[in-house]
Structure 1
Amino acid sequence: MARIFITGSADGLGQMAARELVEQGHQVVLHARNEKRAKEALTKVPGAEAALAADLSSMEETKRLAAEVNQIGSFDAIIHNAGVYRVTGYATGAEGLPLLLAVNTIAPYILTCLIHPPKRLIYLSSGMHLSGDPSLKGLQGDQPLASYSDSKLHGLILAKAAARNWVGVYANTLDPGWVPTKMGGAGAPDNLEQGFQTQVWLAVSNEPEALVSGRYFHHQREAHYQLKADDAGVQEQFLDLCEQISGVRFPEN
C-alpha cells in the first residue's frame, strides 16, 4: 500500500485518479482550493485519508500547504495535478502574479522544494508544451507573464530538473490528452479513462516501464516532447528564476 498526495483532486482528473487509487487500497490525501471544496472532496472520494485546503494562486498558502503535507508524514508519491487553463482577463494571485503562472508554475515549484521528497513525483503537462518558450522570458523581469503552453513546458522542465538532481526519486511528466473534463470541455476527443490512468500507473506501478525518471508520457507510453527541457542550463535557469519569484530555493539531493 502506498500513500499519495494529489493536488487539485476535488474534481476532474485528480479526483478520478484519487478514486482509482483508493479502490486499489492505497492511502490518498486530497487537495482543494478552499475548506468547502475540501469537505466536498472527501464525500466524493470515500476512503480518502484526508483533504487539505490551500489556494495555489497564493505563494504563502502554498508554503503552508507544504508544511501541512510534511506534518502528515512521508509520501510514496505526489501527483502535481492542479492547474488552470481558461483565465479571464489579467487575473492575479494574492502576491500579484498572473494566476496561470502562480498556479501552473510557481505552486508546483514551491511544493516540490518544500515537501519532503517522495519516492515518485508526477507532473501533469500537455501536448501544448511543445509551443512553450524555452528561453523563459516570461519568468524574467519585474512583471513575469507566461502563456498556458509556457506553463506546461515549465512543468516538464521542473520534472527533468528533479530527475537530474535527486537520486532515488522517480520524477516524470505526463500529457493526459485533451479529455472531456471541466478544463478540457465536453467536446474534447480523447479517452477520459486513459487521461487519469497514467497518473495512477506512474504513482504505484512496479512495471519496469514506470520505474524510470525524467521521462514524458502519454497514455502510459513515452511520447515526443520539447528537447530543450533536457538542457541542464535551461533547467538551472528555470530553478533560479522560480527562486527569485518565490523566495524558495531548490534543495540539494
Structure 2
Amino acid sequence: MSRAFVTGSSDGIGARIADRLADHGFDVVRHARDERRAGQCRAAGVTDPFVTGDLASLAQTRALAAGLGQFDVVVHNAGWVSRAASRPVTVDGLEQTFQVNALAAYVLTALMPVPRRLVFVSSDSITGARIDLSDLQHERAWTADTAYADSKLAMTAIAFAVARRYPGALCNAVHPGWVSTKMSGDIAPLGLDAGADTAVWLATSTEPAALVTGTFFHERAPVTLNEQADDVAVQDALVARCAELTGVSLHQT
C-alpha cells in the first residue's frame, strides 16, 4: 500500500487532505504538534497513526524526521500565523512564523527519504511578499501579516529549489484558496473539501497536468503569483541560508 505523510493534519485543511488521501487508498500518517492534539483526534474517532513534534523547535523537527520512514507522498501543510503584537521568537532564537512555515518544511524535506511526490501548501499572500535574504526573520521590522506572507513565499521558493534538486520526484506548491479554518476564520467562503482538492489532486492524479514539477497551482491550474519564487538565484541563496540556520543541508539527488 502507498504511504502518505501530512504535516499539520490534526485539524483544518491538513486533516481533510489526510482524509482524502486515505479515501484514495493511502496508508496515512498524520502529524500533530503534541500528544494532546493527537489524543483529541483519536478521541474524535481518527484511526490513522499520529507522529508528534513541534515545528517551532529544530530539535523536535529533526527528531520527527528521524522517526519517519519512506513515503510515496509528503504534504507540507503545517502553517502558523502569530496573533501577538510583537515578533515571536522560538527556543532556537528564530522568528517563529518563518521557522514553522518555511524552515520546518526545509528540514523535514532534507532529512526524510525522497518521496515520489511532494506538495507544499502555500498561500496567495505571496503575491505581495518579498524574500529579503538580509532579513529573513524580520529583525528590522515585523508585522504578523508580512511575516506570514514572506514565510509562505520562502516556502514556495524552497519547494521549487527542491524540484530542481530532486528530479526523480514531483514537487509542487499550491494555494488552497480562502478556506474557513481556525487560521482564517468563519468569513472565508470555501469549505475544507475545496481547500484540500488541488493538494490531493497533485498527490494522486495520473492526469498529465498533475505530472509536472516546480509549479505553483490554484484550483488545479498553474499560476504565477510572485516571480521571486521562480528565481533560481534567490532559491539557491535561500537554501544556503536555511542550511546555515539549521545545520541541515539539502542534497542533490
Normalised by the length of structure 1, the TM-score is 0.92
The one-letter amino acid paired with 1:3 is R
Deviation for aligned residue 1:186: 0.3
Deviation for aligned residue 1:91: 2.2
Q: How does 1:47-66 map to 2 (within 5 A)?
A: 47-48=47-48, 50-66=49-65
Partner of 1:78: 74
Counterparts of 1:85 and 1:141, CA distance in 2: 14
Distance change in 2, residues 1:29/1:237 (3 Å)? same
RMSD of aligned Cα (Å): 2.0
The one-letter amino acid paired with 2:66 is A
Partner of 2:235: 235
Counterparts of 2:221 and 2:66, CA distance in 1: 34
The one-letter amino acid paired with 1:237 is A
Match of 1:137 among 134, 137, 151: 134
Counterparts of 1:92 and 1:232, CA distance in 2: 29
Partner of 1:115: 112
User: Equivalent residue of 1:30, what SS?
Assistant: strand
**Which contiguous aligned blocks of 4+ residues in structure 1 show a shift greater than 3 angstroms?**
42-47, 140-146
Deviation for aligned residue 1:45: 6.2
User: Equivalent residue of 1:248, what SS?
Assistant: coil
The one-letter amino acid paired with 1:117 is V
User: Equivalent residue of 1:105, what SS?
Assistant: helix
Counterparts of 2:140 and 2:33, CA distance in 1: 25
Distance change in 2, residues 1:126/1:45 (3 Å)? farther
Structure 2 gaps of 5+ residues are: none
CA contact (8 A) 2:130 2:228 kept: no
CA contact (8 A) 1:30 1:41 kept: no
Counterparts of 2:218 and 2:200, CA distance in 1: 13
User: Equivalent residue of 2:31, what SS?
Assistant: strand
Percent pairwise identity: 39
Counterparts of 1:107 and 1:166, CA distance in 2: 18
The one-letter amino acid paired with 1:184 is S
Match of 2:125 among 125, 128, 131: 128
CA contact (8 A) 1:87 1:100 kept: no
Q: How many residues align?
A: 249
Normalised by the length of structure 2, the TM-score is 0.92
Structure 1 gaps of 5+ residues are: none
Partner of 1:162: 162
